[in-house]
């Protein structure tokens, strides 16, 4: 069996290896065995999902595998990924499972895992589970099979937790908010939370049908929400992805503010309030050079990690930091949550707007980003384009061209068969030439269209 786990659990096209019902059943049995190894006590797991049609199939397959090892399963239904992290801890579960492919199209799906502390599993634990999947797991005797139960109030518990992160003395009265839920996991909780806090809510992407998650909406396609912001004269737009663990914000003009701008805003505010633990923000290698320079000017450090919110969280936990995230909109605030939470981050931005008494456009833009260009090249299974001599030469030449006035980042995607080529430079001619040269070399090496 090929490697199952990527940068964020297991992911792929539904009904195609590895995302088949059979594999999900084997994974369920493996994680059930791993988390019920310590004796005869009762063990439980919570399972959430987004709104993909294949979620039903994987929910049932995982439940079968887990109960076959004696685990009791608590089914939450459609809830955001951060709700699973929260409820795993609050319901004293041994394990949390989220069935979602995040921002990917509806034909994809994935399985993410949370330990009893509400944090995503480490690479080491995932490797042990993967070994159990490959070896197979014996089921428990018939009398010890686990039970499954629907939990009807999971989303309400999550809404209350999200609202508790918002300043108690503050309300959203008078604010008109567009919220685009990507036809995904937050299609009920996000509008409910905002309305309960007093906002006038204009919902977008709140009619999931199993096929339309992330389809022309949400954080990957903020144009839809931007049009709604302008059409309704809204004060701000909130764009979530399919499992609501990331957010992209829009100002009153429909302009986009990414995760870097939000992290810059919050890091500066928290540092001024002496709330920023460790005096640093944790972000990935993808975050803009402009963010790093802005933070330096505020006396705030920047810790960079590999791409993936789990790596951000691991660094935050190891270093005692409480703010981190990704340019793509994963925002992690460990004072409130164990993983990225798009809705909770959006509420923090709204609080900043209210406290400053400024429009979103002034609050959102905290630094001028260094021009950044990202292009992707798809490759086929078994290909290793980054090991080919012509590609290495093109990368070396691009690094030399950017030396002193920018940077180059080449990496393989952890969720798709893509080579990502990213560069930053104030010299946009050099920027485009460098990226295009590397993309051309990779494209030639793999024989794929750009």
Q: What is the pLDDT of residue 123?
A: 87
Is it the case that residue 93 has pLDDT exceeding 70?
yes
Residue ranges, CATH 3.40.120.10, the chain: 10-152, 157-235, 259-364
Domain covering 157-235, topology? Alpha-D-Glucose-1,6-Bisphosphate; Chain A, domain 3 (3.40.120)
Residue 364 to residue 265: CA distance in whole angstroms: 7
pLDDT band at 72 (very low <50, low <70, confident <90, very high): very high
Q: What is the pLDDT of residue 448?
A: 59
Polymer length of the chain? 450
Residue 204 to residue 224: CA distance in whole angstroms: 8
Contact call for residues 75 and 47 (beta carbons, < 8 A): yes
Is it the case that residue 1 has pLDDT exceeding 60?
no
pLDDT tens-digit series, residues 33-43: 999 876 667 79
Burial 303-319 (b: 16+ CB within 10 A, else e): bebebbbbbbbbbbeee
Q: What is the pLDDT of residue 450?
A: 45
Q: What is the pLDDT of residue 436?
A: 96
Residue 400 to residue 207: CA distance in whole angstroms: 50
Give which of 335, 325, 281 is closest to 164, Cα–Cα: 335
* 3-state SS record for 146-192: CCEEECCCHHHHHHHHHHHCCCCCCCCCCCEEEEECCCCCCCCHHHH
Is it the case that residue 161 has pLDDT exceeding 80?
yes
Is it the case that residue 240 has pLDDT exceeding 60?
yes
pLDDT tens-digit series, residues 244-292: 999 999 999 999 999 999 999 999 999 999 999 999 999 999 999 999 9
* % of the chain at pLDDT higher than 90: 90
Residue 156 to residue 181: CA distance in whole angstroms: 17
pLDDT band at 228 (very low <50, low <70, confident <90, very high): very high
Q: Tell me, yes or no, if 102 is annotated catalytic.
A: yes
Residue ranges, CATH 3.30.310.50, the chain: 372-446
Strands 331-333 and 301-305: unpaired
CATH architecture of 10-152: 3-Layer(aba) Sandwich (3.40)
pLDDT tens-digit series, residues 124-151: 999 999 999 999 999 999 999 999 999 9
Is it the case that residue 17 has pLDDT exceeding 80?
yes
Task: Please give the C-alpha separations between residue 372 and each of 17, 218, 426, in angstroms, as whole numbers.
Answer: 35, 22, 9
CATH architecture of 372-446: 2-Layer Sandwich (3.30)
Q: What is the pLDDT of residue 39?
A: 61
Helix (H) or strand (E) holding 434: helix 428-446
Residue 247 to residue 245: CA distance in whole angstroms: 7
Task: Please give the C-alpha separations between residue 195 and each of 104, 181, 188, 357, 373, in angstroms, as whole numbers.
Answer: 28, 14, 11, 20, 38
Domain covering 259-364, topology? Alpha-D-Glucose-1,6-Bisphosphate; Chain A, domain 3 (3.40.120)
Q: Which of 4-13, 168-177, 334-343 has the lowest mean pLDDT?
A: 4-13
Contact call for residues 136 and 68 (beta carbons, < 8 A): no
Q: What is the pLDDT of residue 183?
A: 98
Is it the case that residue 81 has pLDDT exceeding 60?
yes
Residue 242, Cβ density class (10 Å: 0-12 exposed, 13-18 middle, ≥19 buried): buried
Mean pLDDT of all residues in 194-199 = 98
Catalytic residue, candidates 100, 102, 280, 434: 102
Cβ neighbours of residue 442 closer than 8 Å, sequence gap 6 or more: 377, 379, 385, 386, 391, 394, 419, 421
Residue 131 to residue 4: CA distance in whole angstroms: 10
Helices (H), 35-122: 54-68, 81-90
How many Cα atoms sit within 13 Å of 256 on the Cβ side? 20
Contact call for residues 30 and 62 (beta carbons, < 8 A): no
Is it the case that residue 318 has pLDDT exceeding 90?
yes
pLDDT band at 324 (very low <50, low <70, confident <90, very high): very high
Compare 413 and 90 and report the one with higher pLDDT: 90
DSSP symbols for 309-331: HHHHHHHHHHHT--EEE-TTSBE
């Amino acid at each position: 069996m090929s490697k199952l786990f990527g940068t964020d659990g297991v992911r792929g096209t539904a009904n195609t290896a590895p995302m088949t019902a059979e594999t999900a059943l084997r994974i369920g049995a493996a994680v059930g065995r791993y988390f019920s190894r310590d004796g005869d006590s009762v063990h439980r797991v919570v399972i959430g999902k987004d709104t993909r049609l294949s979620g039903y199939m994987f929910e049932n397959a995982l439940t079968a595998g887990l109960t076959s090892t004696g685990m009791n399963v608590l089914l939450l239904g459609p809830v955001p990924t951060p709700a699973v992290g929260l409820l795993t801890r609050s319901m004293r579960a041994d394990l949390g499972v989220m069935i979602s492919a995040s921002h990917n199209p509806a034909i994809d799906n994935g399985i993410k895992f949370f330990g009893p502390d509400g944090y995503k599993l480490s690479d080491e634990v995932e490797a042990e589970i993967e070994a159990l999947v490959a070896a197979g797991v014996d089921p428990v005797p018939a009398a010890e099979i686990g039970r499954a139960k629907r939990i009807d109030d999971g989303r309400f518990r999550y809404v209350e937790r999200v609202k508790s992160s918002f300043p108690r003395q503050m309300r959203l009265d008078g604010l008109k908010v567009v919220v685009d839920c990507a036809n995904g996991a937050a299609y009920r909780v996000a509008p409910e939370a905002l309305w309960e806090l007093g906002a006038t809510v204009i919902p977008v992407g709140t009619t999931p049908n199993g096929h339309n998650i992330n389809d022309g909406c949400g954080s990957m396609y903020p144009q839809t929400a931007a049009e709604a912001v302008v059409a309704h004269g809204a004060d701000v737009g909130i764009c979530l992805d399919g499992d609501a663990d990331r957010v992209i914000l829009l100002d009153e003009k429909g302009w986009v503010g990414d995760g870097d701008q939000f992290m810059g805003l919050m890091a500066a505010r928290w540092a001024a309030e002496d709330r920023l633990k460790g005096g640093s923000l944790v972000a990935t290698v993808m975050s803009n050079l402009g963010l790093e320079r802005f933070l330096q000017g505020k006396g705030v450090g920047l810790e960079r990690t590999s791409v993936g919110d789990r790596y951000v969280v691991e660094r935050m936990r190891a270093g005692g930091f409480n703010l981190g995230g990704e340019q793509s909109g994963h925002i992690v605030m460990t004072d409130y949550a164990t993983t990225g939470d798009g809705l909770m981050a959006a509420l923090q931005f709204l609080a900043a707007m209210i406290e400053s008494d400024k429009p979103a456009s002034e609050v959102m833009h905290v630094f001028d980003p260094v021009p950044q260009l990202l292009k992707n090249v798809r490759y086929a299974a078994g290909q290793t384009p980054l090991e080919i001599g012509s590609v290495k030469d093109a990368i070396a030449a691009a690094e030399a061209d950017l030396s002193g006035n920018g940077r180059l980042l080449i990496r393989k995607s952890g969720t798709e068969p893509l080579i990502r080529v990213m560069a930053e430079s104030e010299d946009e001619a050099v920027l485009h030439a460098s990226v295009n040269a590397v993309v051309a070399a990779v494209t030639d090496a793999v024989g794929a269209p750009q």
